[in-house]
């Protein structure tokens, strides 16, 4: 299968950059090399952030409708204060006794089913998924991995070869099998997705490879965002376990209340994973991530090897992550995601009724997707034009999916009704122009 580059990287070249930004683009190329990408034809020069807003050097405000890293809002004062206070007190790792990481582990695990009672800390979601692979192979004695066709699970060597969305320049491993995402438009997702998992298991075995892990972003965000109907993941998890493998729920994007009704994407499906990877929103911009797991998964690995990560779970990371979790709880951000997300989705559906360019609207909470189509067919070029036109309206968004035609809407959890209305108004304006 030919794989395109990641669709949310737009090549600069509109000619509207000022001299400072033009020089910065050249400087980036010279210093950082050719593998980095910028968003938008006219890249945005940012100097600070606050809440849902990002600001350029001239003080212009851009509505951030894409950044789940700053999950509780850019520069949240409670998070910044916790980070600074701990950095000024102690910044050390988990080989010393320190209450901070234990207190955070207890509070975090309280949001999981009791069966998931261990947590291991890393710096990034990529590291968390890489660790999950190591544990799964140790627990099962197998090596086969199953992922969806446009999945993204990280950038370490092991995980990149199980991340098809990275493009043709990153070949998949011979032990990796890809399957279609569970799109409800192509049959019952529970039935079809489970059948695809079983077919991948059979193909691995045909080539002498035993299945170790089914890795699933629980909202299939890189594939195009497929969240419904709730419950469709459970049979697929049962299928991989019946084959001797484990089920990993990648919650790096949907986790920490973004889905509105549940703290984690897997909870919408009534399934308890064997492993759960966490990342981006966990530290609101500070590099903290983790892997939550059943104790039996690590038994074999822990008996023969040790785990240590110099910065994973360090005192500053634990304090920062604790502040983020407390803000989500205290400010009712999961409930806010449910309420504002429902209003936002209804507004998008209203626009779709008036604009033929908007196709199906999908999602849950503050994680939404809108297909961009022409004559009912996916239109990657049109999606790129809309993304860039919104950028010129100072609305920041991107596109996703294997065909790059799906608007990916993933704002900070503090997004308000007024913020959603502003987005909808600007999108309406862009679509009326015939972009």
Q: For residue 2, is it within any domain?
A: no
Question: What is d(CA 154, CA 68) in angstroms, rounded to the nearest whole number?
Answer: 16
244 torsion bin: left (phi>0), alpha (psi -120 to 50), beta (else): left
Question: What is d(CA 102, CA 313) in angstroms, rounded to the nearest whole number?
Answer: 9
Same domain, 129 and 152: yes
Task: Give residue-wise pLDDT tens across range 176-185.
Answer: 999 999 998 8
Give the CA distances from residue 341 to residues 101, 302, 347, in Å, rounded to whole numbers and listed in that order.
32, 42, 10
pLDDT at residue 361 tops 90: yes
Same domain, 44 and 130: no
Same domain, 53 and 132: no
> Per-residue confidence at 11, pLDDT binned at 50, 70, 90?
very low
Task: Give residue-wise pLDDT tens across range 300-335.
Answer: 999 999 999 999 999 999 999 999 999 999 999 999
Q: For residue 148, is it within any domain?
A: yes
Same domain, 48 and 101: no
Q: For residue 10, is it within any domain?
A: no
Same domain, 191 and 336: no
Task: Give residue-wise pLDDT tens across range 384-423.
Answer: 999 999 999 999 999 999 999 999 999 999 999 999 999 9
> Per-residue confidence at 230, pLDDT binned at 50, 70, 90?
very high
Round to the nearest angstrom and report the end-to-end CA distance of the chain: 31
Domain end marker among 330, 352, 383: 330
Q: For residue 9, is it within any domain?
A: no
Determine phi and psi for 94, rounding to 5 degrees. -85, 5
Q: What is the pLDDT of residue 168?
A: 80
Domain end marker among 330, 347, 367: 330
Same domain, 170 and 315: yes
CATH of the domain at 152: 3.40.640.10
Which range among 33-37, 85-89, 431-435 has the greatest average pLDDT? 85-89
* Residue in 344, 338, 348 with CA at minimum distance from that of residue 371: 348
Same domain, 416 and 315: no
pLDDT at residue 218 tops 90: yes
Q: For residue 1, is it within any domain?
A: no
Looking at the structure of the chain, the number of domains it has is 2
Same domain, 64 and 175: no
* Residue in 154, 400, 170 with CA at minimum distance from that of residue 277: 154
Q: For residue 4, is it within any domain?
A: no
Same domain, 184 and 316: yes
Q: For residue 315, is it within any domain?
A: yes
CATH of the domain at 377: 3.90.1150.10
What pTM does this model have?
0.94
Mean pLDDT of all residues in 224-238: 96
Same domain, 134 and 238: yes
Average pLDDT along the chain? 94
Work out the percent of the chain whose per-residue pLDDT is above 90.
Answer: 92
Domain end marker among 296, 311, 330: 330
pLDDT at residue 4 tops 80: no
**Structure-token pair, residue 373:** 């189509």
Query: Is the peptide bond prior to 2 cis by the omega test (within 30 degrees of 0)?
Result: no
pLDDT at residue 14 tops 60: no
Residue numbers of the domain that contains 56: 19-72+332-432
Mean pLDDT of all residues in 154-162: 96
Inter-residue contact 403 to 72 (CB < 8 Å): no
Same domain, 295 and 424: no
**Structure-token pair, residue 70:** 């700053």
Same domain, 188 and 276: yes
Q: For residue 340, is it within any domain?
A: yes
Task: Give residue-wise pLDDT tens across range 243-281.
Answer: 999 999 999 999 999 999 999 999 999 999 999 999 999
């Amino acid at each position: 299968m030919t794989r395109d580059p990641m669709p949310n990287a737009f090549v600069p070249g509109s000619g509207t950059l000022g001299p400072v930004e033009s020089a910065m683009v050249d400087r980036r190329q010279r210093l950082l090399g050719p593998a980095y990408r910028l968003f938008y034809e006219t890249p945005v020069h940012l100097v600070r952030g606050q809440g849902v807003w990002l600001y350029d050097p001239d003080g212009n405000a851009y509505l951030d409708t894409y950044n789940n890293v700053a999950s509780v809002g850019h520069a949240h004062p409670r998070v910044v204060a916790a980070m600074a206070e701990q950095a000024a007190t102690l910044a050390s790792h988990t080989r010393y006794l320190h209450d901070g990481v234990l207190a955070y582990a207890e509070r975090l695990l309280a949001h999981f089913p009791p069966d998931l009672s261990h947590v291991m800390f890393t710096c990034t979601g990529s590291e968390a998924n890489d660790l999950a692979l190591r544990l799964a192979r140790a627990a099962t004695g197998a090596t086969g991995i199953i992922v969806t066709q446009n999945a993204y699970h990280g950038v370490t060597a092991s995980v990149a070869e199980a991340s098809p969305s990275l493009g043709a320049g990153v070949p998949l491993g011979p032990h990796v099998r890809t399957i279609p995402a569970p799109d409800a438009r192509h049959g019952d997702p529970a039935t079809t997705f489970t059948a695809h998992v079983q077919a991948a298991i059979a193909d691995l075995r045909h080539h002498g490879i035993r299945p170790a892990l089914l890795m699933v972003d629980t909202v299939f965000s890189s594939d195009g965002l497929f969240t419904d109907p709730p419950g469709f993941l459970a049979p697929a998890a049962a299928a991989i376990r019946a084959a001797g493998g484990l089920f990993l729920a990648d919650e790096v994007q949907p986790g920490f209340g973004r889905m509105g009704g549940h703290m984690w994407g897997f909870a919408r499906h009534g399934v308890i994973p064997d492993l759960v990877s966490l990342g981006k929103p966990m530290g609101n911009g500070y590099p903290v991530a983790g892997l939550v797991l059943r104790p039996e998964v690590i038994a074999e690995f822990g008996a023969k090897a040790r785990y240590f990560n110099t910065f994973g779970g360090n005192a500053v990371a634990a304090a920062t992550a604790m502040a983020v979790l407390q803000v989500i709880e205290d400010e009712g951000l999961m409930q806010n995601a449910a309420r504002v997300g429902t209003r936002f989705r209804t507004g998008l559906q209203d626009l779709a009724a008036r604009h033929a360019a908007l196709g199906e609207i999908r999602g849950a909470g503050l994680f939404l997707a809108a297909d961009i189509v022409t004559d009912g067919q996916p239109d990657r070029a049109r999606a790129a034009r809309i993304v860039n036109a919104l950028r010129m309206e100072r609305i920041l968004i991107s596109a996703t999916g294997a065909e790059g035609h799906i608007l990916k809407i993933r704002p900070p959890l503090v997004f308000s009704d007024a913020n959603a209305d502003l987005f909808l108004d600007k999108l309406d304006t862009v679509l009326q122009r015939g972009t």
